[in-house]
Structures are given as C-alpha cells and as structure tokens.
A and B are shown apart, each in its own frame.
Chain A
Amino acid sequence: MGAALEIRNLHVNVEDKPILRGVDLIIRQGEVHALMGPNGSGKSTLANVLMGSPTYEVTAGQVIFDGQDLLEMEADERSRAGLFLAFQYPISIPGVTLANFLRLAINAHIKAEKPDSKGISVGDFRKLMKEKMDGLHMEHSFAGRYLNEGFSGGEKKRAEILQMAVLEPKIAILDETDSGLDIDALRVVSEGVVKLRGPNLGALVITHYQRILNYIKPDYVHVMYQGQIVESGGPDLALQLEEAGYDWIREKVEG
C-alpha cells in the first residue's frame, strides 16, 4: 500500500486569527485531488502549514504522513519523507544557481538514506538535469542562473515543477501553479505534472480555476470555504463551480 497524507481536524492560526477551522482530508499515492475555493478560504495556508512554514501556528488537529506525525517534523524532514510543495510565489535566492539548489536538494535526500554517500556524481547530475529540463522545455542555460532571479512567472513555475520532477515526491501539493501563466505556459507546466502522474504520486492541486484541471484531471474535487472543506465530489464538481461560481457554496454554508 502506498503512502498517505491524512489531515485530521486541522486548526491553524495566523497572528492569532483562525484561518483553518477543522480540515479533514486524506490523499493517497496515486490519487489526484483538486482543492478549490474563493480567495481567502485558507487553501494556501493549508499548503504552507503542511510543508512546515514557520509563520503558522497549529492550534489543534493532526497530520499523519506515511505513518509519521508530520507536524513534529522540520520542513527538511518532511521533504525527505516524500512531501513536496510547489510554491505559489517562489522567491529568488541570489547567488544560488538552480543547478546548485537542486544538487543540494538531491544530495540531502541521498545522504538521508545513505549517510556515507558522497552524493550524486557530476555526470549523473548533468544527465538528470538535461533530461528533466528537456521534459519541461527549459533551456539548459537556466541551470546556471540564480534561482528565480529575473525568471518570468512561467519560468518560475517551470522551475518548481522541475524540482518536483527531480525529487520524485510521494505526495505533491501544487499551490496555484496555474496563477499568472498564459495558456502556453499553463500547458507546458501541466504536461510536466501529467508526466509525473502515476501510482507513485499523490497530488493536491490548489486552484481557483477549472482550466488547469482540463490538463491535470482530478480524481476528487474539494471546495474550501472559511477554513473548512465544505463540499467534496468527483471531477464534475469542478465543472459545476466553473459554471455557477462559489455563490451557491456560500449560500449552502451560511443558509
């Protein structure tokens, strides 16, 4: 049986304000879940808290990842356990090239498995980078550029998916990977994700819009509203939201 990410009754505060108010969700390897909902409903908070961002305070609940208590783990441990977050707004790191960043990441994963390992060889690393960058139609010169510095929106998102392709997570969270992308960039990035889809990848695709789901077809769709998942269903739910918007959700919850 594959790994699962189990979120149980998760409550999270940001600066003393409750943002998540009891989230329950289970994502298994091999499943693609879409998480939709209006602005401010708590989707990005969920993504960041799962990755271990220090700015959030968990006030109640539990998250079990692959049998381990995720909330007890540092961000680096979560990553090495097989969790990945494609950031909505990837920041730049001056002086650290994309290649160096990825080599550090790969070696951290390798060394966690085999403490005596010297890490990936230069040759193997080059080969891997080439292959994965070609898959995302990225020019090889990107490897030598400082991470995200001067990258366009589409290039940043591609670099995120590249990191995902290289690290091969068990569960990946894509936080509004479609935002700020034109239709061509959206297609390339989505195809990059689709290539990784399979029995070994579970995904939580966070989005406002249906359009990314035309490429990455979800098995399940959830709607978040005011810090809770208020509706769950199959792919049809996304289409319904696309047509009717979120008003009926509001009415349903508040009425």
Chain B
Amino acid sequence: MVAVRQRRTAAPEAPLYTRADVEALSAVHDEPRWLRESRLTAWDLYLRLPMPGKNDEAWRRTDYRHIRWDEAGRQIENASPSIDVVPGAYLEPLIGDRQGGVLVFVDGKPVFYEVHPSLAEQGVVFTDLHTAVRDYESLVRPRLMTQAVLPGEGKFAALHAALWTHGVFLYVPENVVVELPLHVVMYNTTPGATLGHALIAVGENAQATVLVDYRSAEFEDQSVFVGATELLVGNGGDLRYVSLQDWNRETYEFSHQRARIGSDGNLDWILGNMGGEFIKQFIEVELDGQGAHGRVSGMFFADHEQMFDQDTQQDHNAPLTTSDLLFKGAAKDDARTVWQGMIKSLPKMQKIDGFQACRNLLLSDDARMDAIPGLEIEADDVRCTHAATFGTLEEQPVFYLMSRGVPRPEAELAVINGFFEELLDRIPFERVQARLRESLETKIVGR
C-alpha cells in the first residue's frame, strides 16, 4: 500500500486563460507575425512554468490564494472607454507644468494622446505600444521583452509576454535631451485583468523624465494587473522614472520591473505603493557598464488587509558601478509587508559601491512587516552596505508636539510624516512629493 501524504498547503491556482485567448488578442490588434509568434512562444513557456508558491523563496511569505481568477482574470469589457471618466486630478501634471507628452489608458485602451511637436523633431517616439509595434517595429522588436524583463523568468512574466494588453513606448535617440516630462496614466474603471507594459529606451547620452500613474475607480469585484516595466538606459544616458501605484482595494498586482544601465548611465527610480489588495513586485537594476549609477527610492504604506511584497535587486555587472536603494514603509491595521533585497556582484567587478536599506514603521500590533536584506558579493574590492530597521510610533516625540499645543492626531501625523521625510527628500519633484504626502495623510488618519 502506498501512503499518500496530504500536502499542507495547496498550490495556488493558475488563471483560466487558453491559447485561443492569446490568438484572439493578437488578431484583434492585427499584430505582425513576429509578435504573434513571440506571444505564442511565451504562452508555451507559461504552460510549462509552475505557479509560484510557498516553496519558492521569493514567494515564501506571500499568500495570494484568495485571488478568484474567474473574476479577477476575465477580460475587461469596455467597448467605449473615454477620458471623461478619469478624475481631473489624475490628469494634472505631476512634474513640471508643460508636458512633453501625455498618454492615458482607460481599461487598457488608449483614450488620450498628446505629444509636444518638439519631440517628433528630435526623433523621439512616445506612443502606445500597439501603435509602436505597427509603426516602429525596428525600434520595438529588438527591445520588447528581450533585454530587461524576459518571458522565462517566472509564471507571471511569461503570462505578461503572452497576453500583454497595452503599454507605453518611449524611445529617445542618442544625444537627445527631452526636457519636458512624459506623463502616463493607466486607469481602470471595470473589474478584470489588464496586463500593462512600459518600455522605455533612452539612448546614449540621452535624457528623459517619465511618470506612470496606476490607478482604478472603486468597484467590488476583483481585478488583476500583470505588469512589466523595462527601462533601458544607454551609455551616458540619464533617466528619471517615477511609478505611482494606487489601485483600488480589490486589485492584485504581479509585476516584473527591471532597468539596465550602460556605462556612465544614470537612473533615478522612484516608486510609490499605496493601493491594491495584494502587490507583488520584482524591482531590479542591472548596472551593466562601468560607471553606471542607479538610485531607487521606494515608499509604501499598507493598511487594512493590504499585502505588499517587494523584491529588489541591484546587480553590479561592471566595475566602478554604484547603486543606492532606500525603501521606507509603514503598516497599520492588519496589513502585511515583505521586502527582500539583494545586492549581487560578479567576480572581478572591483570598486563597486552598493547600498540597500529598508526602514519599517509598524503602526499596529496586528500588522506585520518583514525585511530581509541580502548580499552576494564575489569581488573583494567593494563597498556594500545593507540595513533593515523596524520601529513603532514613539510617544516621546508625540508628547513633545502636544506640549506645544498640537492635538494628538496631528502630532502623530507629523511624527509619521517625519519618518518618511528622508525618502521624500530624495524625490526631486514637488508635486510627486505632495501626492505621496496626501496618500500618507489619508492612510494615517484612516478611512
């Protein structure tokens, strides 16, 4: 007789897609053969890859089995999406006053597109990904999920590659400086699945500033966002990239985000995570060329039942590369957060300087925060520092403020805001700071 051992935890269920969904999506957009084939190759890969679960280190602390794929995974039905449904505040510029380009998606479809004439004159391409596939194949094809995020790196990366629904494409030719910022909004009004992409390529000695804002209206059914972000910074290039996430509380996000930076290239990457029911993000920086520098600043605040899980990685693949990563977050109510960081360096990559820190503020006894820093350094002439800290709201500074007349709620708000100030100070855009402060305040005061 064979004893059957009961497995303690059931593996997460996979979404209910089929190969026909991939073919249909590709057909709707009348995609070129290369793209249809690449989607189908990714689909085959997707079928072979296991759903990540408790046995995978990156998912060990993360349970997403409460997602209902029949609800969250269904295709969004919105025949006539319109910009009119997007709250005006979400369309206001967050960086500078004049925008180089604005691209707004509603339920995965582009509903507004505007680009400053100067960009076209400079040879800059800024458009939605479907249009880019059609009109700029030579620019898109060599870059779309071939350099940064690869379909093979996980179930959700493969799913994204097979079924991405929409995206933004930016190409800045070498030596071109795009002064005006580019603003992208991905806004959902209907429950279901969107698989949004961002492909940003900044050429040699080129510069750009991009902000992508992810949001959704309030609704009761579950949604899923399976995203990919690819940031390609050429030698001597400079990219400032801001990504703000404030989904509604029924949204599950699984996303892979990776930057590659060439010699003497520079990336300043700012991430804000505020919304969603469940967020799983892989955020990685590959410092490929000598002298490359990457700075990553992440802010998160989880409340109620929210679960945020962020994995960060800084790969020093060349000598004289520097990276500086700071995440600061808070959790209140029953929220749960996980941060897992890693700095890697290949052998012989001397004179690298890597820093990673995650600072956590625990605002309730029922919340839980984990932060696990990591180093894998194979070179010897390096300087790598890492830190994870945890604290609670201290009474002393609150009392100090109260002794000057400030009521307790405002005093607590000031002290918690103070905790985040170190991170906000790293954000060179006043209105992005203001937006994050606003989210903070809403969360602290409670809703």
- Beta-carbon contact of B403 and A95 below 8 Å: no
A255 interfacial contact with B, CB 8 Å: no
Closest residue to B415 on the A side, CB-wise? Answer: A93
Among candidates B396, B417, B420, B422, residue contacting A91 with C-beta atoms closer than 8 Å: B396
Q: Which A47-100 residues have C-beta < 8 A from chain B?
A: 51-54, 74-76, 78-80, 85, 87, 90-91, 93-96, 100
- Beta-carbon contact of B405 and A79 below 8 Å: yes
Closest residue to B418 on the A side, CB-wise? Answer: A95
- Cβ proximity bits A103-134 to B, threshold 8 Å, 1 near / 0 not: 01100110010000000000000000000000
Among candidates A76, A91, A93, A112, residue contacting B408 with C-beta atoms closer than 8 Å: A76
- Beta-carbon contact of A105 and B408 below 8 Å: no
Q: In the complex the two chains form, what is the Cα distance from A101 to B406 in whole Å?
A: 9
Interface size class of A (residues with CB under 8 A): 20 to 34
- Beta-carbon contact of A109 and B405 below 8 Å: yes
Q: In the complex the two chains form, what is the Cα distance from A131 to B407 in whole Å?
A: 26
Taking CB atoms, residues of chain A closer than 8 Å to B400 are: 87, 90-91, 93
Q: In the complex the two chains form, what is the Cα distance from A214 to B32 in whole Å?
A: 90
Q: In the complex the two chains form, what is the Cα distance from A78 to B396 in whole Å?
A: 17
- Beta-carbon contact of A79 and B399 below 8 Å: no
- Beta-carbon contact of A79 and B417 below 8 Å: no
Taking CB atoms, residues of chain A closer than 8 Å to B84 are: none
Taking CB atoms, residues of chain B closer than 8 Å to A109 are: 405
Q: How far is the CB of B440 from chain A (nearest CB, A)?
A: 12
Q: Which A204-239 residues have C-beta < 8 A from chain B?
A: none
B44 interfacial contact with A, CB 8 Å: no
- Beta-carbon contact of B405 and A74 below 8 Å: no
Taking CB atoms, residues of chain B closer than 8 Å to A80 are: 405
Q: In the complex the two chains form, what is the Cα distance from A95 to B424 in whole Å?
A: 10
Q: In the complex the two chains form, what is the Cα distance from A74 to B408 in whole Å?
A: 9
Taking CB atoms, residues of chain B closer than 8 Å to A163 are: 404
- Beta-carbon contact of A76 and B402 below 8 Å: yes
A167 interfacial contact with B, CB 8 Å: yes
- Beta-carbon contact of B418 and A75 below 8 Å: no
- Beta-carbon contact of A76 and B411 below 8 Å: yes
Q: In the complex the two chains form, what is the Cα distance from A90 to B399 in whole Å?
A: 11
Residue from B396, B404, B407 with most neighbouring chain A CB atoms (10 Å): B404
Q: In the complex the two chains form, what is the Cα distance from A94 to B419 in whole Å?
A: 7
- Beta-carbon contact of B403 and A75 below 8 Å: yes
Q: A54-B395, A91-B397, A94-B422 are in contact. Are A100 and B404 (CB under 8 A)?
A: no
- Cβ proximity bits B369-405 to A, threshold 8 Å, 1 near / 0 not: 0000000000000000000000000011101111111
Closest residue to B400 on the A side, CB-wise? Answer: A91
Q: A54-B395, A93-B415, A96-B415 are in contact. Are A101 and B401 (CB under 8 A)?
A: yes
Q: How far is the CB of B436 from chain A (nearest CB, A)?
A: 13
Among candidates A51, A85, A104, A146, residue contacting B401 with C-beta atoms closer than 8 Å: A104
Taking CB atoms, residues of chain A closer than 8 Å to B397 are: 91, 93, 96
- Beta-carbon contact of B417 and A96 below 8 Å: yes
Closest residue to A166 on the B side, CB-wise? Answer: B404
- Beta-carbon contact of B404 and A79 below 8 Å: yes
B334 interfacial contact with A, CB 8 Å: no
- Beta-carbon contact of A105 and B396 below 8 Å: no
Taking CB atoms, residues of chain A closer than 8 Å to B91 are: none
Taking CB atoms, residues of chain A closer than 8 Å to B35 are: none
B51 interfacial contact with A, CB 8 Å: no
Closest residue to B421 on the A side, CB-wise? Answer: A95
Taking CB atoms, residues of chain A closer than 8 Å to B421 are: 94-96, 146
Q: In the complex the two chains form, what is the Cα distance from A81 to B442 in whole Å?
A: 29
Among candidates B396, B410, B417, B418, residue contacting A108 with C-beta atoms closer than 8 Å: B410
- Beta-carbon contact of A108 and B419 below 8 Å: no
- Beta-carbon contact of B422 and A95 below 8 Å: yes
B427 interfacial contact with A, CB 8 Å: no
Q: How far is the CB of A3 from chain B (nearest CB, A)?
A: 16
Taking CB atoms, residues of chain B closer than 8 Å to A101 are: 401, 404, 414
Among candidates A52, A54, A76, A146, residue contacting B406 with C-beta atoms closer than 8 Å: A76
- Beta-carbon contact of A76 and B418 below 8 Å: no
Taking CB atoms, residues of chain B closer than 8 Å to A54 are: 395, 399
Q: How far is the CB of A81 from chain B (nearest CB, A)?
A: 9
- Beta-carbon contact of B405 and A112 below 8 Å: yes
Q: In the complex the two chains form, what is the Cα distance from A94 to B361 in whole Å?
A: 13
- Beta-carbon contact of A108 and B407 below 8 Å: yes
Q: In the complex the two chains form, what is the Cα distance from A191 to B215 in whole Å?
A: 56
Taking CB atoms, residues of chain B closer than 8 Å to A167 are: 404-405
Taking CB atoms, residues of chain A closer than 8 Å to B407 are: 76, 108
Q: In the complex the two chains form, what is the Cα distance from A91 to B414 in whole Å?
A: 15
Taking CB atoms, residues of chain A closer than 8 Å to B422 are: 94-95
Q: A53-B399, A91-B397 are in contact. Are A96 and B405 (CB under 8 A)?
A: no
Taking CB atoms, residues of chain B closer than 8 Å to A91 are: 396-397, 400
Closest residue to B423 on the A side, CB-wise? Answer: A95
Q: In the complex the two chains form, what is the Cα distance from A78 to B405 in whole Å?
A: 7
Taking CB atoms, residues of chain A closer than 8 Å to B418 are: 93-96, 146
- Cβ proximity bits B411-446 to A, threshold 8 Å, 1 near / 0 not: 100110111111000000000000000000000000
Show 24 residue pairs from A and B whose CB-CB distance is below 8 angstroms, ordered by the A residue: A52-B399, A52-B403, A76-B402, A76-B404, A76-B407, A76-B411, A79-B405, A90-B400, A91-B397, A93-B401, A93-B414, A93-B415, A95-B419, A95-B420, A95-B421, A104-B404, A104-B411, A105-B401, A105-B404, A105-B406, A108-B405, A109-B405, A146-B421, A167-B405
A residues neighboring B (CB under 8 Å): 51-54, 74-76, 78-80, 85, 87, 90-91, 93-96, 100-101, 104-105, 108-109, 112, 146, 163, 167
B residues neighboring A (CB under 8 Å): 395-397, 399-408, 410-411, 414-415, 417-422
10 residue pairs, one from A and one from B, having the closest CB atoms = A95-B418, A95-B421, A79-B405, A105-B404, A75-B402, A108-B405, A96-B418, A76-B402, A93-B397, A108-B406
